Amino acid sequence: MGLDITVMVVDWSWLGEVPARERLSRLWCAWDADETGLWDYEAPTVRGDWVWPKGPHSDRFAVYEFLYTLGSYKPHFWATHHWDHVRDHADPSLRAELDDFLLGLIWDGPDGESGRTDLEFFASTAAESADAPPCGTSLLLARSPEGVRELAATWERVHPLLDGLREPFAKHTAAVSSDGRPADFDHGFVHLLTEWARVLTAAADRGWGVVGVKG
């Protein structure tokens, strides 16, 4: 679990100006640009927890810096791992909604079938999906503006009900913990999901999509 994740809100119409197989590379090149991109760059423009590029693409995408994760994918993995052990003990209506929310972002689901990637936007054929940027990165998730709006609406229904998971979370994550202690419900689960909701809201407000790159 030494992988990192970079989550971006992206102007879908800007990516749509090039053929599907070139869109991920277009985003990568803008992100990786020596003078105006974000990859390994010392002085980006920072707005709260958002990092925006400089130069010609400064209004086309932004990277969200999750608090406390240091860019690691591990906290996202553990949040879904704990959900695997709690979901059968959740209220059925909450379980269905939270399943949809997590499936659309970071969870592979009980059968390993994730719905989080709109591959057709980035590759018109399965063969083209292998046309990924360099440096060992891969597309983890891609949500269209429509998919973003749907997930943001799901969050509005889920959020008021999350406290009902507190007791089953304490009981059933402790049962699978190596030290017998429950996972941190507020910090490691609710807060992380709230940050994902912040990403979705920012994208929805602009009519943009969301992209996650893992490497």
pLDDT at 130 over 60: no
**Stronger pLDDT, 15 or 116, i.e. the higher one:** 15
pLDDT value at residue 113: 66
User: pLDDT for 72-87, tens place per residue?
Assistant: 999 999 999 999 999 9
Query: For the chain, what percentages of helix, strand and coil (3-state, to nearest 5) are there?
Result: 50, 15, 35
pLDDT value at residue 57: 86
Strands 45-47 and 61-64, bridge-based pairing: unpaired
pLDDT value at residue 39: 61
Which residues, 6 or more positions from 54, have their beta carbon under 8 angstroms from its beta carbon?
35, 36, 44, 45
